[in-house]
Amino acid sequence: MLADDPDMGRPSGLPGILTVTVDGDMFEDCPDLSVGYLREPDRVEIRFLRAATAGDPSDLPAVDGSAEPSTDIHERERGRSAGPRTAAVTVREVADAWQRIVTWLRSNAPDSYAALRTGADSAAVAALEASLGIPIPVELRTLWMLTAGDDGAEGRGCLPGNMALMNLDAVADRYRLKTAAQAHQDTLHADRPAEEQITRWTATRIPVVALGPADSTAGLYLDAATGYLGSWSRSNEPQGDELDTLVTYLEETADMLEAPALATRDKPGLIDGTLVWLSGIDPAQESRWQPVTG
């Protein structure tokens, strides 16, 4: 809709940023959303997403989803660069997948559910974006505004392998460390031919998931340039090809929780009120682990 009518918004109070509201009925258990965007002669760029409040202008046009965007898989993979239509699809997909995960945790693993942080506000995400110095993709922005990290239950995160969504401070710290390490590497090898230089980290990679709530020695990053996830570690081992987007990663996690018999990457189970994935189980607690059967 923004592509067809980029001037539909109203001034947001931020320089150059217009805003529209999105009807929360488009998503399950979702409030109305306020979407801020930058309008330029040749493009429209989504800049923030937050829950609409009573202080938002009451005459903003509401986006009701009647103009359904394309869900072609190749267009989805192009992500942010494909424009506001694809951004709207991505927002919905992330919100839907995360809601499925949260709903399952609330019903089956209350301790893991309680460990999830509330969503970040737009100012916190904007501050992180300024700190990183690169645009945060809309799918990651959406996820962080739904939950700003996982503090873990019994030392375990709720994602496959008992990995944990990193909080915003941890993201900034790890990004600085990885970027500084690569800069040091570049300085040491500055006089070498290009083919002999080693690149283990690029500025477009944003750490997203850590090995555990208190273990940031390894994890997953989202490459803002490609939209794909990849693996990172403190020791810089060779990376495998994840070739997942954040959307497909969250959707597969939800699928494994809801239909564990069909899960291939990992198997969910419970120890009391905590979600424990089979690949991350402590052998000493294996007798207490109860597989999820459906």
- Rounded to whole angstroms, the Cα distance separating 37 from 45 reads 5
Tens-digit pLDDT profile for residues 3-57:
788 888 887 766 567 888 887 766 666 677 888 777 776 777 777 777 776 544 4
pLDDT over 50 at 64, yes or no? no
H or E element that contains 258: helix 246-258
pLDDT band at 69 (very low <50, low <70, confident <90, very high): very low
Alpha-carbon span 184 to 171, nearest angstrom: 20
pLDDT score of 199 more than 80: no
pLDDT, averaged across the chain: 81
Contact yes or no for 294/260 (Cβ under 8 A): yes
Q: How far apart are CA 101 and CA 93, in angstroms?
A: 12
Nearest to 63 by CA among 34, 91, 39: 34
**What mean pLDDT comes out for the span 234-262?**
81
Are the C-beta atoms of residues 278 and 266 closer than 8 Å to each other? yes
Residue 54 has a pLDDT of 53
pTM exceeds 0.85 for this model: no
Element (H, E) at 231: strand 229-233
Q: Residue 210's closest CA among 175, 256, 240, 245?
A: 175
Check residue 60 and give its pLDDT: 34
Nearest to 149 by CA among 92, 216, 231: 216
Which has more confidence, 284 or 194? Answer: 284
pLDDT in tens, 86-114: 777 888 899 999 999 999 999 999 999 99
